[in-house]
Structure 1
Amino acid sequence: MPTEDYLGIKIDLERDQLFDNLGIQRLKESYMKEDEESPQQRFAFVSKSFASNDEHAQRLYDYASKHWLSYSTPILSFGRSNKGLPISCFLNYINDTAEGLVENLSETNWLSMLGGGVGIGFGIRASDDKSTGVLPHLKTYDSSSLAYRQGKTRRGSYAAYLDISHPDITMFLEMRKPTGDQNLRCLNLHHGINISDRFMEMIEKCMSDPDADDRWNLADPHTGEVRETVSAKALWQKILEMRMETGEPYLHFVDTSNRHMPDWLKEKGLKINQSNLCSEIILPTNENRTAVCCLSSVNLEHYDAWSKSTTFLKDVAEMLDNVLQYFIDNAPETVSRAVYSAKQERSIGIGALGFHAYLQKNGIPFEGFMAKSTNIRMFKLIRGKLDESNLELGKERGEAIDAKGTGRRFSHVMAVAPNASSSIIMGNTSPSIEPYRANAYRQDTLSGAYLNKNKHLDIIIKDKVEKNNRLNYDKIWSSIIANDGSVQHVTCLDDKEKEVYKTAMEIDQRWVVEHASTRQEWIDQGQSVNLFFRPDVNIKYLHAIHYLAWKQGMKTLYYCRSEKLGKADKVSKRIEREAIKEIDFQSMIDGENCVACEG
């Protein structure tokens, strides 16, 4: 195996062959320094930067270069400029005073310039004779996201979260609509809603009894005064409609998050007030704490290789501890609340990508028992090894201040981020824990457009063409592209293969919720979970999927993806019709409607 020395690390240039052209192009455009000629040099530089010693650096390089480990974007781009810090995003809290409002805006802008996205908890009072309410402040943050950039070209990214009982909730819901009052629109700001158990229980009650009392009070968070009473059903329907129309708001089931917060944080009176820009970070915030997201991911497509390693997951956790320490040591005074939170909690978020790619590589449909058992096996092992690593590092390096007496180095260890860009770099694997959206799609880069084909499907098609000279390889792929990346019409594929290569829009979304809620048991933070629906989705099906997410214990929902009507939609429409027939709302309420039990 030919190797060369780079920064004291033996790098293997042949591992460049694990990339496709798009992956290498993405690395060159967005991550590599001008003097770096190979992705191997980039991996070596980053591994050396955040390793504990030379041996640790070599192992980290090997993990990354074999595509076992996916460094988060700010870690992978570290050293490309002198500005950014290797932290993905932050969550801050607005103290409802004049000083608090000014300080939080200033901190948010500083965090953005340091390269992080920011999730903001808007728990401020509603408009009255002393306050302007939430919307004028949202407009300020909306403008700031354009003014305070992350480097030369990337604008700031903020997400605002508001409680579902806030008097400004209706205006907040509509702030990203492209039409309406210009003064109330915030098109550059993402938004999420903190939904309580009490609200969802009222929706559940209405499912059993359509005539049930659904009066929902909107109360000022500062005074507790009820400002307005609305229909909970109408508000819920509005939320679902907005998600279909704009993809947002994100949904954060805030009571579920607080219930599962570690006991040692609850004992300190801490509270989770919001999630982050990608809805996978679930950490407490207050006037003294701005939560810090320190992330990287393991590639599940290579699970069978790295799951046998005795060092892999501990090495990744140790690397993130070093990243966290770098932030603590180098962050400016302007973000002191974030430094304090990082010191106290030492929370990290190890996530995953390549779940659907692993299933497809092994001929396992996303919908079914085999996928469910695979999901459980993977995340149970990851969490088990991370818990062991947490205690080992606690013994070696000391406990997190917040976790004194527990033996733990970290207050949290897992969070599953979206990983869209990282998945392209990691050999074009599937993003995060979600299904592929298409088996063929166009990807635009600064240097041009690339056609991406599903590599595992490509192997099958090549094999069939080789065995049958009547088949035409190019025509098969052209037909897949013409059918929006679907293979359901491809006659040379058998029924099992068509099941394995269903796209996100063709999969019964109950299985997306089933897998997410099942793995949540082992994820101490959250997951970026997207849902996929046709534009003309049946409202009963749409409601059922969102309700099940709460009922089955998920903490958040990220985007609601609704794509144009295409040639492959007849398949997803059939799946939706079959799901609606099977949905029994009373069984769902009683917790008896398990999609895995339906075969």
Structure 2
Amino acid sequence: ELRKNTGDDRRRTHDMNTANWIPDLFMKRVMEGGDWTLFSPSEVPDLHDLYGRAFEEAYVRYEAQAERGELRVAKKLPALSLWRKILTMLFETGHPWITFKDPCNIRSPQQHVGVVHSSNLCTEITLNTNDNEIAVCNLGSVNLVNHLHNGQLDQNKLARTVRTAMRMLDNVIDINFYPVKKARNANLKHRPVGMGVMGFQDCLHTLRIPYASPAAVEFADRSMEAVCYQAYWASTELAEERGRYPSYKGSLWDRGILPQDSIDLLAAERGGYLDVDRSESMDWPALRSRIATHGMRNSNCVAIAPTATIANIIGVSASIEPNYQNLFVKSNLSGEFTVVNDYLVRDLKAAGLWDEVMIADLKYFEGNVSRIDRIPAELRDIYATAFEIDPRWLVEAASRRQKWIDQAQSLNLYMAGASGKKLDELYKHAWVRGLKTTYYLRTLSASSAEKSTGRGGELNAVPVAGGVAAPAQAAAPQEEALPATDAKFCSIDNPDCEACQ
């Protein structure tokens, strides 16, 4: 309840971002209708550093002690009740984010030297922390759409980009200024970096693939496989040139276990409730051979960050996000300005549908094309916005990416008409699909402003020839509209908006 806006303010942390660090044992109890026991951390201090079967064994042992009255503070409740409480808070406040402790640790290449106790703010960085180390990760993102050629990824161009980027990120580790000694210790010992992607939605528009489709899930798989393959390959080249990172010995890399192989470790520890696609298309045996010979320069190489600001600067969709809206007002320090989906405009022009009535319809329906009947069904599918997409498609695509990634991904989930049942199914699905973390849950408000004044959309109109355009419903004569104003209104929690971020 830390982020609730009601209640005793002394029990609230309004400007902190919170997350639940959930062990697999809790999810099993939820799935099976079991009980969960709450302990005082002072009586069970070792649970903080345990995961997988070791955590489960210790936890069950403490439960038995609690039953015998050997622990001073313990409380048993149905696991499903606590799960519902978690989902209720997530729906009401967007927090705490749901992150999964065991996948983050069991699949961590650095499990031999420590424990991942939490993610970073945006939930994509999963690195060890301890008394002597503060996790630090240097991030970069590939503009994916710039690597499309003739309807497919240009592997040679992608390899050149990632090779250069990995060298730059590795250089940053050495030349950076570290205000805290523990951060410097961690970075120089493990040398983690995080290559990610942005412009994923632009790629789908270019390829004319709906986000909510098996083709989009397959593209997420193949594109992330390519980025990860090239990033790991680049790290072996840097290792050959500059040497392995100091804590390499004993890592999963050193043991010949690549990120996709670590799914087997998770399956063995979890003992069920794991359903992850295992297909691959690149020459992984060659990479395995290089790693065995030269090692790795970086303990971690890949993480997908939100990229809200840099994607705005470049003019592509942020990270792996679906389009939030096809038409919205963006606010930043430079002011407010209207943004329209250029791909949609291009296709509407090609179909002979881009006119004043269409402009007004888009404004009236807030960029939602599904309610504009004269737009062909194919285009309505391609340009479906975040809240029109079944969020399970986002999870499916994320699961395919997570297969290849040695850290995690910043994954927002969007849900229109959220309900307890839908949330329950969605986050259970994310766990079964092997995701390490999730980020914000974004839901639509129960109501929105009624567009009842004049012809609709004048308050945030894009000027067109002859004045403000009218919606399709305004084709018949009606009373004179109110004059347009310069007022602009920004959508709340728009992930593309710097003010919201």
Alpha-carbon distance in 2 for matches of 1:303, 1:564: 37
Alpha-carbon distance in 2 for matches of 1:246, 1:289: 32
Map 1:48-63 → 2, pairs under 5 A: none
Post-superposition CA distance 1:553-594 (Å, at most 9, x none): 0000100001224689xxxxxxxxxxxxxxxxxxxxxxxxxx
Q: Which residue of 2 aligns with 1:423?
A: 311
Give the secondary-structure state (helix, strand or coil) at the position aligned to 1:230.
Answer: strand
Alpha-carbon distance in 2 for matches of 1:247, 1:451: 26
Q: Which residue of 2 aligns with 1:453?
A: 340
Post-superposition CA distance 1:387-406 (Å, at most 9, x none): 11111100101111011484
Alpha-carbon distance in 1 for matches of 2:372, 2:308: 27
1:551 maps to a residue whose letter is V
Map 1:86-485 → 2, pairs under 5 A: 174-206=1-33, 214-224=34-44, 225=71, 226-262=73-109, 265-268=110-113, 270-305=114-149, 307-309=155-157, 310-327=159-176, 330-332=177-179, 335-404=180-249, 406=254, 407-427=295-315, 429-465=316-352, 471=353, 473-485=355-367
1:543 aligns with 2:424: yes
Give aligned-pair identity as a percent. Answer: 35
Contact 1:443–1:449 (8 Å) recurs in 2: yes
Give the secondary-structure state (helix, strand or coil) at the position aligned to 2:74.
Answer: strand
**Pair 1:271–1:483, CA change in 2 (3 A):** same
Deviation at 1:489, TM superposition (A): 2.0
Deviation at 1:440, TM superposition (A): 0.6
Instruction: Determine which structure has greater relative contact order: mean sequence separation of CA pairs < 8 Å that are 6+ residues apart, divided by chain length.
Output: 2
Contact 2:236–2:297 (8 Å) recurs in 1: yes
Deviation at 1:293, TM superposition (A): 1.8
1:204 maps to a residue whose letter is M
Alpha-carbon distance in 2 for matches of 1:362, 1:490: 23
Alpha-carbon distance in 2 for matches of 1:292, 1:483: 43
Alpha-carbon distance in 2 for matches of 1:447, 1:280: 29
1:543 maps to a residue whose letter is D
Alpha-carbon distance in 1 for matches of 2:121, 2:342: 31
Post-superposition CA distance 1:428-452 (Å, at most 9, x none): x111112111111100122321110
Alpha-carbon distance in 2 for matches of 1:188, 1:538: 26
1:322 maps to a residue whose letter is N
Give the secondary-structure state (helix, strand or coil) at the position aligned to 1:460.
Answer: helix
Q: Which residue of 2 aligns with 1:496?
A: 378
TM-score (normalised: structure 1): 0.61
Alpha-carbon distance in 2 for matches of 1:311, 1:353: 17
Contact 2:142–2:161 (8 Å) recurs in 1: no
Q: Which residue of 1 aligns with 2:280?
A: none
Alpha-carbon distance in 2 for matches of 1:491, 1:288: 61
2:325 maps to a residue whose letter is A
Give the secondary-structure state (helix, strand or coil) at the position aligned to 1:292.
Answer: coil
Post-superposition CA distance 1:174-219 (Å, at most 9, x none): 011011001111101110110010000011112xxxxxxx321111
Post-superposition CA distance 1:29-76 (Å, at most 9, x none): xxxxxxxxxxxxxxxxxxxxxxxxxxxxxxxxxxxxxxxxxxxxxxxx
2:411 maps to a residue whose letter is V
Alpha-carbon distance in 1 for matches of 2:90, 2:357: 37
Deviation at 1:222, TM superposition (A): 2.8
Give the secondary-structure state (helix, strand or coil) at the position aligned to 2:4.
Answer: coil
1:218 maps to a residue whose letter is L
List alignment gaps of at least 5 residues for structure 1: 1-173, 207-213, 466-470, 569-599
Contact 2:324–2:387 (8 Å) recurs in 1: yes
Q: Which residue of 1 aligns with 2:496?
A: none
Alpha-carbon distance in 2 for matches of 1:196, 1:451: 44
Alpha-carbon distance in 2 for matches of 1:475, 1:281: 46
Return the structure number with greater helix share.
Answer: 1
Deviation at 1:477, TM superposition (A): 2.3
Deviation at 1:267, TM superposition (A): 2.6
Give the secondary-structure state (helix, strand or coil) at the position aligned to 1:418.
Answer: coil
Alpha-carbon distance in 2 for matches of 1:266, 1:375: 27
Deviation at 1:386, TM superposition (A): 1.2
Contact 1:359–1:365 (8 Å) recurs in 2: yes
Give the secondary-structure state (helix, strand or coil) at the position aligned to 1:331.
Answer: coil
Contact 1:517–1:554 (8 Å) recurs in 2: yes
Alpha-carbon distance in 1 for matches of 2:21, 2:448: 37
Contact 1:483–1:566 (8 Å) recurs in 2: no
1:518 aligns with 2:400: yes
Contact 1:464–1:492 (8 Å) recurs in 2: no
Give the secondary-structure state (helix, strand or coil) at the position aligned to 2:403.
Answer: helix
Map 1:576-587 → 2, pairs under 5 A: none
Post-superposition CA distance 1:66-101 (Å, at most 9, x none): xxxxxxxxxxxxxxxxxxxxxxxxxxxxxxxxxxxx
**Pair 1:255–1:567, CA change in 2 (3 A):** same
**Pair 1:497–1:342, CA change in 2 (3 A):** same
Alpha-carbon distance in 2 for matches of 1:323, 1:398: 16
What RMSD, in angstroms, separates the aligned Cα atoms of the two structures?
A: 1.7
1:319 maps to a residue whose letter is M
Alpha-carbon distance in 2 for matches of 1:383, 1:246: 34
Contact 2:137–2:193 (8 Å) recurs in 1: yes
Which among 430, 433, 456 is matched to residue 552 of structure 1? 433
Q: Which residue of 2 aligns with 1:153?
A: none
Post-superposition CA distance 1:318-372 (Å, at most 9, x none): 0001111112xx323xx11110000111000011111111101211011222112
1:544 maps to a residue whose letter is E
Give the secondary-structure state (helix, strand or coil) at the position aligned to 1:251.
Answer: strand
Deviation at 1:491, TM superposition (A): 3.0
Runs of 4 or more consecutive aligned structure 1 residues displaced over 6 Å after TM superposition: none
Deviation at 1:375, TM superposition (A): 1.2
**Pair 1:566–1:493, CA change in 2 (3 A):** farther
Contact 2:123–2:410 (8 Å) recurs in 1: yes
Alpha-carbon distance in 1 for matches of 2:391, 2:178: 42
Alpha-carbon distance in 2 for matches of 1:253, 1:272: 11
Q: Which residue of 2 aligns with 1:157?
A: none
2:140 maps to a residue whose letter is S
Deviation at 1:266, TM superposition (A): 2.4
Alpha-carbon distance in 2 for matches of 1:458, 1:307: 29
Alpha-carbon distance in 1 for matches of 2:300, 2:31: 32
Alpha-carbon distance in 1 for matches of 2:3, 2:422: 24
Deviation at 1:274, TM superposition (A): 0.4
